Amino acid sequence: GAGVSQSPSNKVTEKGKDVELRCDPISGHTALYWYRQSLGQGLEFLIYFQGNSAPDKSGLPSDRFSAERTGGSVSTLTIQRTQQEDSAVYLCASSFGQGAQDTEAFFGQGTRLTVV
């Protein structure tokens, strides 16, 4: 597609439910990132995928959070047993990654998650 696409754009869920957030990166981009942006806060790194390498999961806040990237393209971020503190905007970005240190990251519009 023309840009990074995220779905849904908004998600309201009850505390304790599981949610899945989807990211469709720009075609040909080997790197994919998930970030979280809480109200009035900066970007919190969650996880990074680069090609076929093992993902960098160092930013995942707890074992309730997981992500996968199928076929080197679409990624799904899953939050199990959601808590109110999980409420935030979840941003996905992609870039050409490997071999291009100066490459910029292209961001999706984000998924606004509200846990009630």
Partner 1 sequence: GNSVTQMEGPVTLSEEAFLTINCTYTATGYPSLFWYVQYPGEGLQLLLKATKADDKGSNKGFEATYRKETTSFHLEKGSVQVSDSAVYFCALIYTGGFKTIFGAGTRLFVKA
Contact 99, 68 (CB under 8 A): no
Q: Minimum distance from CB of 18 to partner 1 (Å)?
A: 25
Q: State both tokens at 63.
A: 């074992």
Q: State both tokens at 1.
A: 């597609």
Q: Is 98 one of the binding residues for partner 1 (CB under 8 A)? A: yes
Contact 55, 49 (CB under 8 A): yes
DSSP structural state of residue 16: T
Residues touching partner 1, count (CB under 8 A): 26
Residue 52: partners with Cβ closer than 8 Å, 6 or more residues away: 72
Q: Minimum distance from CB of 14 to partner 1 (Å)?
A: 26
Q: Minimum distance from CB of 5 to partner 1 (Å)?
A: 11
Interface stretch with partner 1, choices 18-26, 64-72, 75-83, 108-116 (CB under 8 A):
108-116
Residues that bind partner 1 (CB under 8 A): 31, 33, 35, 40-43, 45, 48, 50, 56, 91, 93, 95, 97-98, 100-105, 107-110
